Chains A and B, each alone.
Chain A
Amino acid sequence: MASQASTPDFRFLRNVVLKALALFIAVDLLFAAVKPTPAIGRLSLYNHVFPGRQRLPYGDRPDLAYNLSLFSLEAMAASHEIAAPKPEIEFRVVLIGDSAAWGFLLHPEETLSAYLNAAQLRTADGRWVRAYNLGYPTMSLTKDLLMLDIARRYQPDLIIWLVTLESFPRDKQLASPILQHNPEPVQALIEQYGLHLDSQDPAFIVPTFWDNTLIGQRRALADILRLQLYGVMWAAAGEDQYYPETYDPPQYDLDADPSFHGLQPPTLDPNDLAFDVLEAGVNAANGVPVLIVNEPMYLSDGANSDIRYNFFYPRWAYDQYRTLLASRCGVNEWRCLDLWDLVPAEEYTNSAIHLTPTGEGLLALKIIERLAAFGIQR
C-alpha cells in the first residue's frame, strides 16, 4: 500500500497509457494479419433469426429504408434468402441485373422475382420454381458477372440475366463502387476469363496494410453490424427501400445529342462494348442455363425523339446494339430474349429502365412464356 501510495501519478498515468497503447497496437496488428472481416461478414442473423432479405442490401437512406449499401460481398450474400439451404423440390432461378432487376421504387412483392414466384411455376420433373433476386443497382456487366459468380455458390438451376446497353460500355465496367471496393474477386474474374479490362485499373481501391487493421476496417465492421440490426425492421416491416411520395418521371423531351459514352454515329464498334464479359458470364455459369433478357426501356416521343429513344440511348447506338446482341446470341447459341419495347411509356417510374408494378407484370409474363423452353410451366 505504502509503495503504491508513493508512486507518482505521472508514472501511473504513463503506465496506463503505455499498456493501453501496446494492447491496442497488438490487437490492430493481429487483425491486419488475420483479416477476419470476410469471415465476420459470413456470420449472419438472416435466415436464422430474421427471414433472409429478398434482394441484396442497398440504400441511401438507411434510417427510412431500413437498409444500407455496404461493400462486404460475404455479408450481402449471407443476408439474402438465397443463403438458406436449398430444398430438394426447388428449381432455383437466379436473376441478375441492374436496378431494374433489383426493383427500384418497387415493394419486394412487386419485383420480377416476386412475380415469377407468384406464378407458381413447376418444372417437368415436378420441382417448384423459386426465383431469387440478385440484381444490384449499378449498371455494369462486370458487376453482374461478380454477382453471377456469387450466385454459383448457391446451386442455381437457371440464371436470368437482365441486360441493357448502358451496362456494356467499357468505361462503365469498373465504375461501380461495389467493384472498386472488392478488387480481389474482380481481378480474379478478369484474369480467369481474360476480360478486356485492366486488372490494375486505378479505380480499384486496394487496401493497404493499415486499411486491414481494426481501425481501418471499422467502417466495414460497423456496416456489417448495422445490416444485422436492420434485420429487425426487415422482419417487422418487410420493407427494404425508401419510397418517396413523388419523383420525376423519365425525361420526355430529349437533348439533340447523338453521342453515346463518347462514341459517335454512324457505327458502333463491338469492341467498345463488353461482350467479352457477357460471354464470360455464360461460361462462368458452367453448364447452368443462362437466359439473357434485353430489358424493356422507355420510348419517348417528345422533342428530339427522332435522335434518341430516351435519356440513355441515341437511336443509332441502341439499334446497332440490338443487332450485335442478336448476332452474338445466334453465333454462340445463347438463349436470348429481346423485350426492349415491351412496356408502354406510362409504365415507367423515375428512369428509362425502372418499371411500375404493372410493367414488371408484363415483363414477367413474357419471361414465363419463354421459360417453357426450359421445361418450366404453370
Chain B
Amino acid sequence: MTLLQISVFVVIAALAGLARRWRVWILMAASVLAIFWMQPPTPIRNLDFWLPAATIGLTALVWAGTRDSGEKRENWAGVGVLTGLVLLVGLSRYLGPLCCLTPTRPPAILQILAAAAIVFLLGLAIARSFAARPRLGEIFVVLIFGLFIVLKTAPWAQTASAGLRSITGQPTELATAFDIRWLGFSYIAFRLIHTLRDRIAGRLPDLRLHEFVAYVIFFPSFTAGPIDRVQRFLKDLRQPDLANGKSPTRISRLSEWREFIKNIRLIRPAAPFAFQNDFADGVQRIVLGVFKKFVLADGLTLMALNSDSAGRVTSTGWLWVLLYAYSLRLFFDFSGYTDIAIGIGRLAGIRLPENFERPYLKPNLTQFWNSWHITLAQWFRAYFFNPLTRALRGSPKNIPMPLVIFVGQLGTMLLIGLWHGVTWNFVAWGLWHGLGLFAHNRWSEATKGRFAGLAERPWLQKAVSVGGVLLTFHYVTLGWVWFALPTMDSSWQVFAKLFGG
C-alpha cells in the first residue's frame, strides 16, 4: 500500500464506519475496487486486470459452493453489484488517460462480459451440486493449493507465464517467474480454505455474497493480513445498528437506499460514541503503522542485509549490524502494515485480530511463534498441526509423543517456509524453526520444575528471562539469513562470516 492508497482507504473506512447501516455494501464495493487499484502491473497483457478479476471470480465461486440457501434476493443484489463493479472497472478502458484504477488499460468489455457469464454459469452449477455435498469443497481446496504451488515455484510460474504469453500473442521466451504477480493470493487462499474446511466441518455460518466477498478481500488486510476467522469477522460485520436495532445489511427496499444516501449526505451515524472510540483507536494505529513502515522499516532497508550487501561487507561486526537491521526491518515493515490494516479496519468498525505482540521480547521460540504473525500460525495450527498430531496420536502404532511433536512442528514450519516460496532457502528456514521449536519443547519437558526455585530470587529469574530473550532473538535473527538471501551458498557464506570465518 502506498501513502496515497492508505489515505484514500482511511476516508472510505471512516465513511463506512459512519454510515453503518450500509457498511457491508460499502466495504464490499471498496474492497472490489481496491484490489484492482492495488494490483501491480504485469508484463503480460491485461493480466493486471484479470488477476483481481480472478480473485473476485474465485471468491464468488467458493461462496456458491459454501453458501446456505437463504436470503436469495440479497444475494442476487450481491451478484448484480459485484458484476457491475467489475464492468465499471472494465469500462475505464474507454477513459483513456483518465483510467486510474488498473495499472494498464483493461481488456475489451465483451471479454469481461464473457468471463462474467462463465463465472455466473459455473456458480449456478456449483451452487446446485455442492449444496447437498459439502465435501465437494475439497475440489476447491486442491485447486487453490495447485494454483498456490504453481505461483510459488519458479520454473512452474515461468511455464505458466509462457502459456499466458502465448495466449496474448507475446513472445514466450521473455517469460519469467515474476510475471504473474497475483496480489494478495496467499491471504485469499488462506481465507478461502478456511471457509471451505469449516463448511465441510459444518462450522461455517450462513454468509450472504456481499458479506463473503467483504471478508475474503477486505481491503485493509488484503495484501498482508491479518488472516481473520470468518466467524469473528462476521460478528463485527453484522453488529446491530445501535440506534434502531435493525440489521445493517438489508437493502431490499427502495426507501432504505434513500436512507443510505441521507446517511452519507448528513454523515449521521447511529452509534456515535462507538465510532469516536473506534476512530481514535484506528487513527492511532494507522499513525503508528505508517511510522513503523515508512520511517523505520524503509530507513532500515537502506542498511539491511541482502544478497548485494552480504558480499561487500568487510568485517564480521558490520555484518551483524546488517543482519540486525534486516531483522528489525522485517518486524517494522510487517507489523507496520498490520497496524495500518487494523487501524483502517477499526475506522470501519471491524476489529481485526492482532498479528504481532512484541515477538522479539519473548523468552523462547514457542512464545515467539505465539506472537509473530499470530494469525498465520493459528491457521496452520488449526488446519495442519492439530489434525496431523491428532491423527498420529490416534494411530494404532502407538507413536511416541516426542516423535508426534517432532513431526508436527517440523511439518508445520516446513509448510510455513514453503508458503513464502518453493526454494531450498525457505525449506532451510522452516527446518531451522521446526528444529528450534522441537528443541525448546524437549528442553521445557526436561527442565520442568527445575526453575521453580527462581521465583524466590527475582534477579536471577530476571537474568534467566533476559538471557532467554537474547537467545531467542538471536536464533530468530540468524534464521533470517535463509530468508534474506536467495541461495544456500550465499547463506552459508554469510553464516561463516558471521562467526569469523
Contact = CB atoms under 8 A, between A and B. Distances in A.
A236 B272 contact: no
A59 interface: no
Interface in B269-285: 269, 272-273, 275-276, 279, 283
A13 B321 contact: no
Contacts of B322: 232, 236
Contact of A5 (B18, B272, B321): B272
Given A9-B276, A229-B299, A229-B303, A236 B268 contact: no
Interface in A227-241: 229-230, 232-233, 235-239
Interface in A209-243: 225-226, 229-230, 232-233, 235-239
B3 to A, nearest CB: 11
Contact of B313 (A9, A16, A237): A237
Interface in A1-23: 4-10, 12-13, 16
A13 B267 contact: yes
A124 interface: no
Please tell me the size bucket of the interface on B. 20 to 34
A239 B313 CA distance: 9
B279 A235 contact: no
A232 to B, nearest CB: 4
A64 interface: yes
B302 A226 contact: yes
Contacts of B275: 9, 12
A9 B267 contact: yes
A232 B321 contact: yes
A125 B317 CA distance: 40
A61 B464 CA distance: 46
A64 B309 CA distance: 8
A65 to B, nearest CB: 10
Contacts of A66: 302, 309
Contacts of A230: 302-303
A26 to B, nearest CB: 18
Nearest to B312: A237
Contact of A229 (B302, B312, B314): B302
Interface residues of A, number: 25
B272 A232 contact: no
A236 B313 contact: yes
B16 to A, nearest CB: 13
Contacts of B315: 236
B193 interface: no
Contacts of A4: 273, 276
Interface in B302-327: 302-303, 308-309, 312-315, 318-319, 321-322, 325
Interface in B249-287: 266-269, 272-273, 275-276, 279, 283
Given A236-B318, A236-B322, A238-B314, A5 B303 contact: no
A263 B146 CA distance: 68
A63 B312 CA distance: 13
A46 to B, nearest CB: 14
A10 B273 contact: no
Interface in A38-89: 62-64, 66
Nearest to B295: A225
B14 interface: yes
A50 to B, nearest CB: 11
A12 B299 contact: no
Contacts of A63: 308
A240 to B, nearest CB: 11
Nearest to A237: B312
B279 A232 contact: no
Greatest chain B CB density within 10 A among A5, A230, A236, A238 is at A236
A10 B267 CA distance: 6
Interface string B8-24: 00000010001000000
A133 to B, nearest CB: 20
Given A64-B308, A236-B315, A5 B273 contact: yes
Given A4-B273, A229-B302, A229-B303, A13 B14 contact: yes
A64 B308 CA distance: 7
B321 A236 contact: yes
Contacts of A13: 14, 18, 267, 279
B437 to A, nearest CB: 32
Contact of B272 (A12, A229, A233): A12
B269 A9 contact: yes
A10 B308 CA distance: 52
Contacts of B276: 4, 7, 9, 12
Interface in A124-171: none
Nearest to A231: B303
A239 B14 CA distance: 48
A8 B272 contact: yes
B267 A225 contact: no
A225 B295 CA distance: 10
A238 B315 CA distance: 10
Nearest to A14: B267
B309 A9 contact: no
A232 B321 CA distance: 8
Contacts of A16: 279, 283
Contacts of A12: 272, 275-276, 279
Nearest to A6: B272
Interface in B212-267: 266-267
A233 B318 CA distance: 9
Contacts of A233: 302-303, 309
Given A8-B268, A16-B279, A232 B273 contact: no
A62 B308 CA distance: 12
Greatest chain A CB density within 10 A among B302, B313, B321 is at B302
A309 B315 CA distance: 45
A8 B299 CA distance: 40
B278 to A, nearest CB: 10
B275 to A, nearest CB: 5
A16 B10 CA distance: 14
A137 to B, nearest CB: 21
B273 A237 contact: no
Nearest to A239: B312
A225 B312 CA distance: 22
B58 to A, nearest CB: 36
B272 A237 contact: no
Contacts of A239: 312
A236 B315 CA distance: 7
Given A8-B268, A13-B267, A236 B309 contact: yes
A361 to B, nearest CB: 23
Contacts of B283: 16
Given A8-B268, A9-B272, A16-B279, A232 B313 contact: no
A12 to B, nearest CB: 5
A109 to B, nearest CB: 12
A239 B279 CA distance: 47
A9 B18 contact: yes
A345 to B, nearest CB: 31
A8 B272 CA distance: 6
B281 to A, nearest CB: 13
Contact of A7 (B14, B272, B303): B272
- What are the 3 tightest A-B residue pairs by CB atom distance, in nearest-first order? A236-B318, A232-B303, A237-B312
15 contacts: A4-B276, A6-B272, A7-B272, A8-B268, A9-B18, A9-B279, A12-B275, A12-B279, A13-B18, A64-B308, A229-B303, A230-B302, A233-B303, A235-B318, A236-B315
Interface of B: 14, 18, 266-269, 272-273, 275-276, 279, 283, 299, 302-303, 308-309, 312-315, 318-319, 321-322, 325
Given A9-B267, A229-B303, A237-B313, 19 more contacts: A7-B272, A8-B272, A9-B268, A10-B18, A10-B266, A12-B276, A13-B267, A62-B302, A66-B309, A229-B299, A229-B302, A232-B303, A232-B321, A232-B325, A233-B302, A236-B312, A236-B318, A237-B312, A239-B312
